[in-house]
Amino acid sequence: MTAPIELWYWPTPNGWKVSIALEEMGLAYEMKPVNIGAGEQFTPEFQAISPNGRMPAIIDPDGPGGAPISIFESGAILQYLGNKSGKFYPTDVRQRVEIDQWLFWQVGGLGPMAGQTHHFRQYAPAIIQDQRQIAYGVRRYTDETHRLYGVMDRRLADRDYLAGDYSIADMAAWPWILPTLQGQDLEHFPNLKAWVERVGERPAVKAGRALGDEMRKNLAASGKAAEEARKVLFGQRAR
């Protein structure tokens, strides 16, 4: 019997993308926690899989030709899993291009911009004493996240999913719609709100989103443990 896929993971939006995909595709997997607040993403063991020191990453013991393969970067992982399972990533070129456009839009736009919104709205106030120093960042990234929500809302005006049928593009984008943390109001984006609810009702999405919930800690909280975690996450330089 083939060993399960190893999912090197922590419960964050990027991690949820892959846990949701594994659940949706019915692929056997084993979760390998990577405690990013404790710096486990910087261990030699993990960086042998993910040279950038970021999770998620996977190891598939039954890769191409039956040989193991390791993959980092969530977008590349989603494409690989879609190819492997034959689900949510069709082989038709036009359909695939449609999906790839929205997958890359999420990876290059929604994720990074919403991530910066999280940083300036949630974490920076616990790091920087002079709140005037973070005001521009809060405004800049909150406004850009609002714009990106609008892009999705317009896209979803005449369709149920981002690229036709439900696909890895939806799995990539859904975990990043966190309006409370991002200073947004979904009532301003009715099509996006309906999509969030539609995708969120899928049993596999619920299961993937819940993976490792008990491991999460609030990095914006006070206390020594949260402070040390913030130093690990936001104090890294080239090694």
Give me the helix-helix angle, 203-210 and 13-25, nearest 10°. Answer: 140
Do 112 and 179 fall into the same domain?
yes
CB burial of 28-37 (b: ≥16 within 10 Å; e: otherwise) equals ebebbbbebb
Do 127 and 190 fall into the same domain?
yes
Q: Nearest CA to 37 among 239, 237, 221, 216?
A: 216
CATH code, domain with 127? 1.20.1050.10
CATH code, domain with 61? 3.40.30.10
**What is residue 123's predicted lDDT score, i.e. its pLDDT?**
77
User: Which range of residues forms the domain containing residue 126?
Assistant: 93-201
Domain assignment of residue 209, yes or no: no
Domain assignment of residue 210, yes or no: no
**What is residue 221's predicted lDDT score, i.e. its pLDDT?**
59
Do 119 and 172 fall into the same domain?
yes
Domain assignment of residue 208, yes or no: no
Whether the upstream peptide bond of residue 90 has omega within 30° of 0, thus cis, is no
Each residue's pLDDT expressed in tens, for the chain with a length of 239 residues: 689 999 999 999 999 999 999 999 999 999 999 999 899 999 999 999 999 999 999 999 999 999 999 999 999 999 999 999 999 999 999 999 999 999 999 999 999 999 999 888 887 777 777 777 788 889 999 999 999 999 999 999 999 999 999 999 999 999 999 999 999 999 999 999 999 999 999 999 999 999 999 987 665 555 665 556 555 555 655 44
Domain assignment of residue 190, yes or no: yes
Do 33 and 56 fall into the same domain?
yes
pTM of structure: 0.91
**What is residue 219's predicted lDDT score, i.e. its pLDDT?**
53
Domain assignment of residue 206, yes or no: no
Do 77 and 98 fall into the same domain?
no
**What is residue 124's predicted lDDT score, i.e. its pLDDT?**
78
154-164 pLDDT per residue, tens: 999 999 999 99
CA distance 61 to 83: 16
Domain assignment of residue 239, yes or no: no
Do 151 and 230 fall into the same domain?
no
Burial of 122 (0-12, 13-18, 19+ CB in 10 A): middle
Question: How many domains, in total, are found in the chain?
Answer: 2
**What is residue 122's predicted lDDT score, i.e. its pLDDT?**
81
Do 83 and 125 fall into the same domain?
no
Burial of 204 (0-12, 13-18, 19+ CB in 10 A): middle
